[in-house]
A and B are shown apart, each in its own frame.
Chain A
Amino acid sequence: AQKITQTQPGMFVQEKEAVTLDCTYDTSDPSYGLFWYKQPSSGEMIFLIYQGSYDQQNATEGRYSLNFQKARKSANLVISASQLGDSAMYFCAMREGLADSWGKLQFGAGTQVVVTP
């Protein structure tokens, strides 16, 4: 079963606008972590932001913020004031706290973002 769902295969956003990338997840473990990574055309995976299941506040890192709605099992990434350099594939990932899932990150299919001038 798909653990991470990203329903938007691609999005266009104008420079300086904000964009929200959707991510829903599925787990029965009360302890888990949610991550967002950016993958530009160069291919490297760049860590953006982390949200823990017990965190009371939404995570923020510069222009990135995570809209964490635990009851809905969603962890949407918000990029404010988009820049041309934000054009990339964005992946949502989850790491469960279960001992036998300790190491692995489970990734969604990704959302391709294109920022236009």
Chain B
Amino acid sequence: GAGVSQSPSNKVTEKGKDVELRCDPISGHTALYWYRQRLGQGLEFLIYFQGNSAPDKSGLPSDRFSAERTGESVSTLTIQRTQQEDSAVYLCASSSREGGPSDTQYFGPGTRLTVL
């Protein structure tokens, strides 16, 4: 497809379970980003991958959160031992250039995570 895709679109899980969220960036985009959006709020940066560089993990809220990316393709965001406060929409974005202020990020539809 032409845009960023994410799966699943919705995920309901029980507290304490692990979840994996997937993101397929736009083909050819070297940069990939994960954000979290709690209900009624703006987006919070989580992690950023750029090519083969070490990822910027500065936004990950705890060590229960981790993410991987294979080359310049798919990324998975893993949340271990989920808590109710992890309930949110997780949005993935990708961009085509080597970073810099003008590099526009294009977003996927998000994964809505609900932790019961």
Contact = CB atoms under 8 A, between A and B. Distances in A.
Interface string B71-95: 0000000000000000001010100
B48 A96 contact: no
Interface stretch (A14-22, A27-35, A65-73, A79-87): A27-35
A44 B105 contact: no
Contacts, number: 76
A50 B105 CA distance: 11
B107 A45 contact: yes
Size category of the B interface is 20 to 34
Contact of B101 (A33, A91, A107, A110): A33
Given A47-B106, A52-B101, A97-B100, A103 B89 contact: no
B33 A103 contact: yes
Give 7 closest A-B pairs by Cβ, nearest first: A103-B48, A33-B101, A45-B107, A107-B42, A104-B45, A102-B99, A107-B43
